[in-house]
Chains A and B, each alone.
Chain A
Amino acid sequence: MPRWGMVIDLDKCVGCQACTIACKAENNVPYGSPEEQKSRKDVYWNKVIAVTSGKYPKVNTELIPMPCMHCDQAPCVTVCPAKATYRREDGIIVQDFRRCIGCKYCIVACPYGARSFNSKEQEEKEYHRKDLPPDRSVWGPWPFPTRTHGVVEKCTFCFHRIDQGIKEGKRIGKEVVPACVEDCPANARAFGDLEDTGSEVSQLLASRGWIRLREELGTKCKVYYLPR
């Protein structure tokens, strides 16, 4: 059984946020509004954050793309009272919208802020206009035919792509990758099987020192960063 993971090279990353937008387009993640941003209610499955330190002129800002870390020891899975979030055999942490009761324990538990609560009203006009994307009735192979508000959402490593790719006999990590990996213009992201020493991700990890965010928490996340 593979164990899917992602490697993000911060030296190659250009801070352009193509990952954020590609993810929104692929997964029908709702866009926010000024009000939602003020109250931090906007939804992202992947977001680029800026961490700044230092004083002028010796200032340093790190722009860090943040998908779900898909921890092997995931705090969100532990705390979920409804078993709505769980680890698949291939290591992907998924969220079952049907089981989710919207209690948000997982949002509190997640050390990476990777989870968002979808408080969009279903009937909100622009979100459900038939002539605007996202119109899910035409989307095709995607696990969530319609969206549910009142549940917690997060990155899925685009498992709909992976599952379909496996069934079609494609090489995952080469021919099939998550949308953020495919659309990264700098090729800063790689995706593949961490168990396979020949995979691109394993080779990248062997080539340079890497870090995982908040290693001390023992979450054993499967998103690795290659520092500059």
Chain B
Amino acid sequence: MNRRTFLKLSALTGTVVGGKRIIGPFETFAGLSPQQKTENAPEEKWISTSCLNCSARCAIRVRVLKGKAVKITGNPLSSVADGKICPRGHLGLQVLYDPGRIRFPLKRTNKEKGRAIDPKWTRLSWEEAIEEVAHRLKSLRDKAQPHKLLLFSGLNSMSSEDLIFRFANAFGTPNLIFGNGLDGETEKSGRWMADGHYRSTAYDLDHTNYVLAFGAQMLESSIPLSRFLRKWGKLRREKSNRTKIVVISPRYSVTAAKADEWIPIRPGTDAALAMAIAHVILSEKLHDSDFISHWTTGFDLYKKLILHQYSPSVVSTVTGIPPETIQRIAREFAQTQPAIALGGKESLNWPEGSYTSYAIFCLNALAGSIDGPGGVIYQEHPKYQEMSPLVEDDIAREGKAQPCLDLRGTTKFPAAQVVTNQIPESLLADTPYAIELAIGFNSNFNMLAPGSERWDQALGKIPYSVHVSPFISEMALYADLLLPSATYLEEWGYDHSPAGGGVAEVRLKQPVVKPLGETRAISDILFHLSKNLKAVAPSFANLGDGPEGFVKFRTSPMMPWKEFLRKGVWTGPNYQYKKYQRIFNTPSKKFEFTSGNLRSLMAKKGKRDEELNLLPQYREANFLGKKDQHPFVLIPYQPLMVIENGSQNYPWAQEIFLPMHGRGWETLIEINREVGERMGFRNGQMIWVESPFEKIKGRVKLSDGIHPEVVAIPSGQGHYAYGKWQQGIGVNPHEIIGVDYDRLSGQAAFFNTRVKIYKA
């Protein structure tokens, strides 16, 4: 021991002795006399609010001591996950106290924009910043070109989303782009073809006895994750009969490992398997004929198609799954009532994913699992206090009449509600018109979307862009002006439950600590901006006059404000099953095996689709890259520890990033052991993964849990913008994925890029 360490050690002992005076050696606080207790009592509060580390936005409670948040846990009043939260919820502390957060507005002084280019930020005051944005907005209005404003919204509280939406409408731009187009749209459109609901599906997981998961990583990336985690425990050992869970996926995920059976499938063929399962059910007459005869239409055509084309032996050659296995799981599925079939990212975020979603959803109808206990249920939504009608002028109306940049609703993406990944192409080609100003709210699409490079180019091209975020994300790197927003633990807001337990639920967001530095909540910024903009101000007038007032106003029908502040959760009436009279939102008012919704949509677009195109079906996936050149299919999967706010600068998440491999702080490129050994790879060796577009380098992991035809790479790493716990760690598979879409919904395809691999 040298003298320096010795000195350090003695200093350290000093601290320990000092600590003794406060609490005493191994004496707990409770051991003190009542008087000492009050004197030393740290000011402790438990505050109810809601999470924002993924779009489920679960109700949480935060323990605050002397103005510092120290622990996050679930709110027992929330029924979606029986008051539990997923591991990501706990990370809120590191989101809040992230040392990489921006504390004050920043302005770019380097005109050049690009990945490795230093923006040379300089500090400015909020007044100057708001003035700057308001000035630019005003000049667009003055030119009567409000549509040249482009708004991005990433992961935000629902109340912020409502305000951003209202802002866009009052201002007069059709170009409000949410991140939804990157996930979940195919699921919605497939379901819409069947029952007319363009929404995510909720499942009554309390009573299900059999689960067939097609590429749905229920324990990692499904939403709401906390619900799947909680109910998994319930399905296994908290009811009289244990639920069987079968996972179909090319990858042996955590979900597959925890399931009863893992069935590896050739990537992109889930629809064929779903159709073959229907084949077994129909040919063996195992379907719920009562439900089908009363509450469905188009069944005969569907049955004919299934029996004609999708026998297990034919599908076996497509999927690589033995016909006996298909028969067995089909019988189990149909005979173990109630059963559900669900799809997930890895089966649905494909071109033609809508049809896959449709095919999987129809299995639920065959099994009679529609709106009954243990089946698909219909999520109810709360009724907030209505906002006063929008005040808009002719400029706004004409602006909104302009076509949207993402081509939604055009013949290219007929059913689409948002096509997030189309934006770079439109920006680069100036179609339908050039954008002059962009404002991003917590968005980080150039990390999350396939084909990152186009995003970088397109963002660099926007004449002026403003970014609102708690940290300098990859998208913020391209901003001219950076406004530091508060995190979700410092803002007012409300959220409601995503498709989950069926029952409507509203969660309150309230600041658990004062915003750090000069940060301001998005709602605060919008209210401020609206005051400086004549066009928007009237629409923001009677909304409660500020962030807290807005939440109070909107949630006033739920419960008294004081009670809501304390409880943090409002729950709607109990769920009623079998509402067949009113749940089907289709032309026939029934569940449709032949989609009337699609038929009428196509008619509206002036396109008459062939009758066959209106049925669920398997269409061979269009792969980007030729098999002889690029023999593997790339699967960029999402591990649980990926925080969906656009940052990964959280050491608690990073160090346990890949639980199946016991590794963190890294991207592992997983390939089949036999294939890898044949190619001469050793575990841990660096390899290149090259698509027809780009290549990335990483450590290879030879695994027995992966289909021989695929290469799996976790997403979430490869950040380059900020943060010592994420910068330069791992690689981002989205950089090498090609750009493709599901035709109907405009959902970006993530899984149809082919790659080759070789030693680095």
Contacts and interface: CB of A to CB of B under 8 A. Distances in A.
A14 B20 contact: no
A96 B8 CA distance: 20
Contacts of B15: 122, 146
Contact of A146 (B16, B66, B70): B16
Nearest to A121: B8
A217 interface: no
A163 interface: yes
Interface stretch (A68-76, A104-112, A178-186): A178-186
Interface string B624-654: 0000000000000000110000000001110
Interface string A106-142: 0000000000000000110010010111111011111
B651 A31 contact: yes
Contact of B662 (A26, A50, A138): A50
A55 B84 CA distance: 36
B681 interface: no
26 contacts: A15-B257, A17-B640, A18-B86, A20-B87, A21-B87, A21-B91, A25-B71, A25-B90, A34-B665, A37-B655, A48-B656, A56-B264, A56-B673, A59-B252, A98-B25, A122-B12, A123-B8, A139-B65, A141-B23, A141-B28, A142-B28, A146-B15, A146-B18, A148-B12, A185-B84, A186-B232
Contacts of B345: none
B169 to A, nearest CB: 38
B144 interface: no
Nearest to B14: A146
Interface string A158-185: 0010011001100000000000001111
A78 interface: no
A63 B254 CA distance: 8
Given A61-B257, A98-B16, A182-B73, A188 B233 contact: yes
Question: Ordered nearest first, which 6 A-B pairs have the shortest CB separation?
Answer: A145-B19, A141-B29, A186-B233, A31-B651, A185-B229, A12-B233
- Most A Cβ at <10 Å: residue of B99, B229, B708: B229
A21 B640 CA distance: 13
A130 to B, nearest CB: 9
Contacts of A146: 15-16, 18-19
Given A98-B25, A145-B22, A14 B229 contact: yes
A54 B704 contact: yes
A16 B264 CA distance: 22
Contacts of B16: 97-98, 145-146, 148
Main SS class of interface, A: loop
A138 B264 CA distance: 50
B666 A34 contact: yes
> Which among A59, A96, A185 has the highest number of chain B CB atoms within 10 Å?
A185
Contact of A11 (B31, B219, B237, B655): B237
Contacts of B22: 145
A32 interface: yes
Given A33-B651, A133-B69, A21 B662 contact: no
A185 B640 contact: no
Contacts of B44: 140
Contacts of A98: 16, 25
Interface string B212-254: 0000000100000010011011101110001000000000101
A65 to B, nearest CB: 10
Chain B: number of interface residues, binned into ranges: 35 or more
B116 interface: no
A197 interface: no
Given A56-B674, A138-B70, A24 B652 contact: yes
Contacts of A168: 30
B422 interface: no
B605 interface: no
Given A63-B257, A146-B16, A146-B19, A133 B236 contact: no
B696 to A, nearest CB: 18
Given A9-B237, A183-B85, A31 B25 contact: no
Contact of A50 (B27, B233, B660): B660
Nearest to B705: A59
A213 interface: no
B229 A186 contact: yes
Interface in B181-237: 219, 226, 229-230, 232-234, 236-237
A143 interface: yes
Contacts of B708: 56
Given A148-B12, A183-B90, 18 more contacts: A16-B219, A18-B87, A22-B90, A31-B652, A37-B655, A47-B656, A50-B659, A60-B257, A61-B660, A63-B257, A122-B12, A133-B70, A138-B42, A139-B65, A145-B16, A148-B16, A160-B28, A184-B84
B81 interface: yes
A203 interface: no
B602 interface: no
Nearest to B93: A133
Interface of B: 8-9, 12, 15-16, 18-20, 22-23, 25-31, 42, 44, 65-66, 68-74, 81, 84-87, 90-91, 93-94, 97, 99, 219, 226, 229-230, 232-234, 236-238, 242, 252, 254, 257-258, 262, 264, 516, 640-641, 651-653, 655-656, 659-666, 672-674, 704-706, 708, 725, 729
A52 interface: yes
B705 A50 contact: no
A209 interface: no
B93 A25 contact: yes
Contact of A14 (B26, B71, B99, B232): B232
A185 B229 CA distance: 6
Contacts of B28: 141-143, 160, 163-164, 167
A164 B30 contact: yes
Interface string A179-199: 000111111100000000000
Contacts of B656: 17, 20-21, 47-48
B31 A167 contact: yes
A79 interface: no
Nearest to A226: B237
A78 B517 CA distance: 51
Interface in A18-53: 18, 20-22, 24-26, 31-34, 37, 42, 47-50, 52
A145 B652 contact: no
A25 B729 CA distance: 23
B295 to A, nearest CB: 35
B659 A17 contact: yes
A13 interface: yes
A143 B26 contact: yes
Nearest to A186: B233
Contact of B68 (A63, A126, A138, A144): A138
B233 A185 contact: yes
Contacts of A59: 252, 262, 704-705
A57 B233 contact: no
Contacts of B72: 25
B72 to A, nearest CB: 7
A41 B91 CA distance: 22
A12 B30 contact: no
A12 B236 contact: yes
B90 A18 contact: yes
Given A16-B87, A34-B665, A138-B66, A122 B704 contact: no
B253 to A, nearest CB: 10
A21 B652 contact: yes
B208 to A, nearest CB: 15
Given A133-B69, A164-B30, A63 B99 contact: no
B230 A52 contact: no
Interface centre among B234, B651, B672 (most CB of A within 10 A): B651
